[in-house]
Chain A
């Protein structure tokens, strides 16, 4: 399967399937709280099994900026 990462730079990785989403994230050392996983145009949960021919995108959800003041 193809895994597209967006952060810190765009990368495409190959994994052999079938694999659970949460196991892929664990192997990549990615905190599930900090990303969404998208297959096609759908969001998938950590227990979803991804097949050999699937493409998934791991999309970070964090954005930064100023923290030390009122906003």
Chain B
């Protein structure tokens, strides 16, 4: 197989575009898809301060890499989730990436800063670990962006992530999620920072190929909590369809953005956002989901670990 641009041996086949590329022209293809996403969706400009959510995996590091190459003001934010055998390695890879490129990196440690880890969510919440983890990450990214004056939060969600989320939202007919699913979530009152997904036009395989070709050292292992996650089932199902019908994922998701969302929007009833009475972050109820999660987890942790009996003073 040869590169469609220069006829050198191909490194990556992109069946949905009836194409194959050598390393150099694959990077060019990748760059063009990211540029198109940023410009067509009006995600940000070179004047904006961008907070990049960085886990240490291929998607977020690839995103940070391409934004830095394009000359954007892109600061990383990594959250250490306290997952044994996984979180510390993720932080190390993220820090090494930032060091090599001289990029600014912020770190939040869930245990040190909030007194819990994702392990505690498993014991102290009805939510699945992925759900509690996702909620915490969204909350912290928004809070840090707000407090430190970033214009926009960028995440590494790719076409497969978005198509799998869409499939899940369709299977359960989550109208509220469907109408707002998209590559840009606009800023809103109160205290909601704009969120963007510049890799939404690129398949997961293409993002991984970019990471390998750029020599990015990312965490290869899957998060231990994601084993058996519904998202992986949806991705496998979509990949099976893609294998026999190249372009299916793109058609599902980009078609949804162009046509489907408009139809569902007619039935949209926007929830009224108010400020959480405890932390001031945006919510649809008096106390936000994150504060309620923290409260539940901490109550259960206290029950599981009774306070030690007070010892009499020694002097």
Contacts and interface: CB of A to CB of B under 8 A. Distances in A.
Candidate in A33, A63, A71 with the most chain B CB atoms within 10 angstroms: A63
B282 interface: no
Interface of A: 6-7, 31-36, 38, 42-48, 59-71
A63 B243 CA distance: 18
Per CB-CB distance, the 4 closest pairs between chain A and chain B, nearest first, are A64-B226, A66-B134, A64-B229, A61-B208
Interface in B125-178: 128, 130-131, 133-135, 138, 155, 157, 160-161, 164-165, 167-169, 172, 174, 177
B232 interface: yes
B211 to A, nearest CB: 9
Contact of A46 (B13, B135, B205, B227): B13
B130 A34 contact: no
Contacts of A32: 243
B57 A63 contact: yes
Interface of B: 1, 10-13, 20, 23, 57-59, 128, 130-131, 133-135, 138, 155, 157, 160-161, 164-165, 167-169, 172, 174, 177, 180-181, 185, 203-205, 207-209, 212-213, 220, 222-223, 226-227, 229-232, 234-236, 239-240, 242-243
Contact of B222 (A7, A33, A42, A66): A7
B11 A45 contact: yes
A34 B240 CA distance: 9
Contacts of A33: 203, 205, 239, 242-243
Contact of A67 (B133, B165, B207): B165
